[in-house]
Amino acid sequence: MLNELATGGTPPGELVFFGGPMDSGKSTLALQMDYTQSAHDRKGRLFTSQDRSGRPHITSRIGLEKDAIEVDADFDFWTYVSAQRLAGKRVDFLICDEAQFYSVEQVDQLARVVDEMGIDVFCFGIMCDFRTQMFPGSKRLVELADRIENLPVRPLCWCGRIGTHNARVINGVMVIEGDQVLVGDTSNSAPDEVHYEVLCRIHHRARQPKGHSGATLSAHTLFEEE
Ligand SMILES: [Zn+2]
């Protein structure tokens, strides 16, 4: 493969990362990208990890869904694409949803698929967790991607500002400690369980999710402390 590259035999692919907070239309854009890229007989594969549906599907909040291949801890992108090609199947592009859950090694495999096979790889993921720390998969994508794009839909905090930070809320109380991955919903339909909200940085720092109660620092106070 490398010899092929040196002689210009493989056209370069592109590794693109679309990152943002939750509720920014990530899976919807992933499915739109699959539709657009499938034009002119281009062949793609869809991947996801721990989708909200609990099945290997890419599901978007506006009702679109499509089968996808589950990326579990043992999955190897390089081995998978190599086997597909060896079996005579065309692979022109990969759509990779929930890429924040991929391991560093799996993102490295994606970069190799781009560079040595000339395949375009479009990754979609949440940038940071509820503690404002980057997910390992997203961090590796920022380090390796040819291009990083902000997701086009900007969710709003309850105060009306642009929502930029994910908050984990348990029984109405925002928490800032715990496991990085804990399945919950963003619909707020089950208030006694874990759910997630997108807040502006001010209300994330003040630990004030929607409908918060108790005497906590106001946004105004936080500004004055700066
Ligand atoms: Zn806010």
Tell me the CA–centroid distance for residue 161 and ligand 1, in Å: 6
Are 29 and 46 members of one domain? yes
Diameter over CA atoms, the chain: 67
Contact assessment for residue 155 and residue 121, using Cβ atoms and an 8 Å cutoff: no
CA distance 76 to 106: 6
pLDDT per position as a tens digit, 39-52: 889 999 999 998 76
Contact assessment for residue 169 and residue 196, using Cβ atoms and an 8 Å cutoff: yes
Backbone CA torsion sign across 195, 200, 201, 205: negative
Is 192 or 126 the better-scoring residue by pLDDT?
126
Give the confidence band of 215 by pLDDT, cuts at 50, 70, 90.
Answer: very low
pLDDT per position as a tens digit, 68-89: 999 999 999 999 999 999 999 9
Within-domain flag for 222: no
Tokens coding 26 = 């990530």
As for how many domains the chain has, the answer is 2
Within-domain flag for 36: yes
Query: Which residues are close to ligand 1, an ion, with C-beta < 5 A?
Result: 157, 159, 161, 200, 203
pLDDT per position as a tens digit, 111-162: 999 999 999 999 999 999 999 999 999 999 999 999 999 888 889 999 999 9
Are 88 and 171 members of one domain? no
Residues whose CB falls within 8 Å of the CB of residue 166, separated by 6 or more in sequence, listed in order: 21, 22, 126, 128, 129, 130, 196, 197, 198, 199
CA distance 198 to 25: 13
Cα distances (angstroms) measured from residue 125 to each of 95, 108, 158, 164, 181? 11, 16, 23, 14, 14
Tell me the CA–centroid distance for residue 162 and ligand 1, in Å: 8
Classify 55 as helix, strand or coil.
coil
Domain range spanning residue 188? 154-213
Are 177 and 205 members of one domain? yes
Tell me the CA–centroid distance for residue 202 and ligand 1, in Å: 6
Within-domain flag for 220: no
Are 127 and 24 members of one domain? yes
CA distance 148 to 16: 6
> Which pTM was predicted?
0.84
Q: How far separated are the first and last CA of the chain, in Å rounded?
A: 54
Q: Which residues are catalytic?
A: 98
CA distance 17 to 134: 14
Are 160 and 50 members of one domain? no
Tell me the CA–centroid distance for residue 196 and ligand 1, in Å: 14
